Structure 1
Amino acid sequence: MSAPPTARDRRRWARYLVNERAEAHVYRELAARRTGEERDILLALADAEGRHEAHWLRLLGGEPASLPRASVGTLLLGWMAKRFGSIFVLALAQNAEGRSPYDTDPDATHTMAADEKVHHEVVRGLAARGRRRLSGSFRAAVFGANDGLVSNLALVMGIGATGVSSTLVLFSGLAGLLAGALSMGAGEFVSVRSQRELLAATEPSGYADAALPYLDLDANELALVYRARGMDEADAIARAHRVVAAAQSTGSAAPDTSPVDVVDQHEVVGHAWGAALSSFLFFASGAIIPVLPWIFGLSGAAAVALALALVGVALLSTGAMVGLLSGGPPLKRGLRQLAIGFGAAAVTYALGLLFGVTLG
């Protein structure tokens, strides 16, 4: 006979119970903002969390008289799901599913532990759809802001360390903002336009459609076209036969379509002007932050300290955002961005001190 559960066991089960309920609530809130297959998947995840909830209820012997609050992270997910329903909620849910304690908890079944691993992959797949939709202009915006923060912080730290006047530091920062934003916008425009042109060159064309009625029904190279696009030989021959027969019976050719499912990647790549404008504006929004202390009249150590503080907060935020978009831990990514940004600023500051001493 197993030992009766301790008060500590019951507290742990109750905590699992409320977290399962909260997670099911998150998935239902997200489902309410979606339609079709994504909605069905999210509702199925909520039902699965309900089965886990039932397990802990059985161990507790029914609904406890009082329950603890759900974890802060789960409550935050529920709040965000109800108000935003965005990719960021799915990314946070993915991280939460990856931290399940059921692998090592003796009171959780092996099925429940396996469920949580599968849930992680399901949410990862849903989040990946959202990440693809957010690429293009949004990608340019996030990385443009981060580039603006790092490059202009390094610039004003290096210039300021030489001992020049605050006015010169201010105008150097503004010049760096404008030059960097223009460069980022132009670069993003060329990059996206080139990628869209490359995609257009790889798409199927209707160059040979007008010749279809004149092909030999039993011996033609149309099947080779379909095989080149990805169909296997048998399916390609069968399709070529159907297309040529239909063209000969009508005396004209209907526009040919690709025999394989081709994902329209133009939407994923984004639009050149939109990406360029986003890159310009967000680089500028990041680059203005290190210059703010000098804009408002500060100078010397006070301006440097405030610039570092403002940029530190911004770097942590953009790093966390990149972490969410990539499915990584937000805090770790934020700290990495902070280290990179401050590392670059430290190098240029040291060089500025060196040149300042030399010039002096």
Structure 2
Amino acid sequence: MTAPAPSTIRRWRKYLADERAEAAVYRDLAGRRSGEEREILLALADAEARHEAHWIALLGDDAGKPLRGDIRTRALGWLARRFGSVFVLALAQRAEARSPYEADVDATPAMAADERIHEEVVRGLATRGRNRLSGTFRAAVFGANDGLVSNLALVLGIGATGVSTPIILATGLAGLLAGALSMGAGEFVSIRSQRELLAASNPNPETRSALPHLDVDANELSLVYRARGMSEDDATAHAAEVMRDLTVDHSRPDDIDGHEEIGSALGAAVSSFLFFASGAVIPVLPYLFGVDGLAAVIASSVLVGLALLATGAVTGLLSGGPPLNRALRQLAIGFGAAGATYLLGLLFGVAAV
């Protein structure tokens, strides 16, 4: 048998190191979970161990001293050991999607298929985490982004009219407070209203007491299920099943989905208030430290630009999308809005003169 080329051995050893690192990530995540999620993560670690055994068998004596995994996998391991959060799962989802096994003749078709399935498994676990923090996280991201963009636009627009630095600073601080209060109140009302609307759509639990008294032949219970979207035949069959077994709670049909978790109204309001304020304070920082004129405009824009890149990247990571693309999109939208306001400020400033 022909000995593998040095480049092939290096590639196999890299795959071996990555499999070991990925298995360690899943074990670290499992250590911070319990129940079903823990079992799933440990099963993923076992699958990576099978892949590891494949490369060890190919390498034989060339396996040598264990190498370190690539920088992204090692970073995942570091995050998993310290945080074990949905961010790590979102990153792991992207890592699984980048598997090179489908294009590598030395990897078995089963290994390539495993990696595809692992991506979906991790996506499912990450989705659980996203759903758990959806309401509060949405309010936090929107709040921070709105604070950054709206207050930068306000500060630049007012500054472009030629007013003094104290007026710009006072305007920025007023915009911070007014916007944060408005965002917090708006989120509270929005979430509470959504919950009240959803509650109005839930079945009345007292309705079940009427089931034993329904006319079996007419069985108007089928109309309930038809009103919720079932076909006539399915609704009739399901209603008949309910009437045969009144000991089971069928107040909601099995194939009707429940409402998604939309988050706590108070949690969303507080999160929105705090993150709007934290975003809105960034554009006024240069003015707070005595910078004025063009230097303040540049400093404010740079600080906000960095913050927009950060919020865009975090959103991209959590959504499973490319962080860089989301960060640049966030930056373009924010600067576009602020730039338009700055030009309007220049126009009004010239008109006032």
Q: Secondary structure at the match of 2:290?
A: coil
Q: Of 238, 254, 272, which aligns to 1:260?
A: 254
Residues 36/228 of structure 1: CA separation in 2 closer, same or farther (3 Å cut): farther
1:218 and 1:241 in contact (8 A); partners too: no
C-alpha displacement of 1:40: 1.4
Q: After TM superposition, list the pairs within 5 Å mapping 1:97-116 onto structure 2.
A: 97-116=96-115
C-alpha displacement of 1:15: 1.0
Distance 2:107 2:249 in 1: 58
Instruction: Encode CA deviations 1:318-360: one digit per residue, 9 max, x unaligned.
Output: 1111112211111221122112212222222222233333333
Q: Secondary structure at the match of 2:107?
A: coil
Residue in structure 1 matched with residue 325 of structure 2 by the alignment: 332
1:223 and 1:240 in contact (8 A); partners too: no
Q: Of 289, 300, 304, which aligns to 1:307?
A: 300
Residue in structure 2 matched with residue 30 of structure 1 by the alignment: 29
Residue in structure 2 matched with residue 343 of structure 1 by the alignment: 336
1:184 and 1:280 in contact (8 A); partners too: yes
1:227 and 1:236 in contact (8 A); partners too: no
Letter in 1 for 2:241: A
Residues 352/226 of structure 1: CA separation in 2 closer, same or farther (3 Å cut): closer
Distance 1:34 1:263 in 2: 26
Coordinate RMSD, CA, aligned: 2.3
Distance 1:86 1:214 in 2: 51
Q: After TM superposition, list the pairs within 5 Å mapping 1:147-166 onto structure 2.
A: 147-166=146-165
Task: Return 5+ residue gaps in structure 2 as ranges.
Answer: none
Using structure 2 for the length normalisation, give the TM-score: 0.91
Using structure 1 for the length normalisation, give the TM-score: 0.89
Q: Secondary structure at the match of 2:63?
A: coil
Work out the number of aligned pairs and report it: 349
Instruction: Encode CA deviations 1:191-240: one digit per residue, 9 max, x unaligned.
Output: 21121111111111134344445444555323443565556533420221
Distance 1:219 1:154 in 2: 64
Distance 2:129 2:102 in 1: 29
Q: Secondary structure at the match of 1:270?
A: coil
Q: After TM superposition, list the pairs within 5 Å mapping 1:122-133 onto structure 2.
A: 122-133=121-132
2:151 and 2:283 in contact (8 A); partners too: yes
Distance 1:214 1:264 in 2: 27
Letter in 1 for 2:245: R
Distance 1:224 1:63 in 2: 70
1:27 and 1:46 in contact (8 A); partners too: yes
Q: After TM superposition, list the pairs within 5 Å mapping 1:49-198 onto structure 2.
A: 49-62=48-61, 64-198=63-197
Residue in structure 2 matched with residue 236 of structure 1 by the alignment: 239
Instruction: Encode CA deviations 1:83-139: one digit per residue, 9 max, x unaligned.
Output: 111000000000111111122223222222221111111111111111110111221
Q: Of 260, 265, 271, which aligns to 2:264?
A: 271
Q: Secondary structure at the match of 1:135?
A: helix
Residues 107/307 of structure 1: CA separation in 2 closer, same or farther (3 Å cut): same
Residues 4/226 of structure 1: CA separation in 2 closer, same or farther (3 Å cut): same
Moved more, 21-30 or 230-239: 230-239
1:24 and 1:45 in contact (8 A); partners too: yes
Letter in 1 for 2:274: L
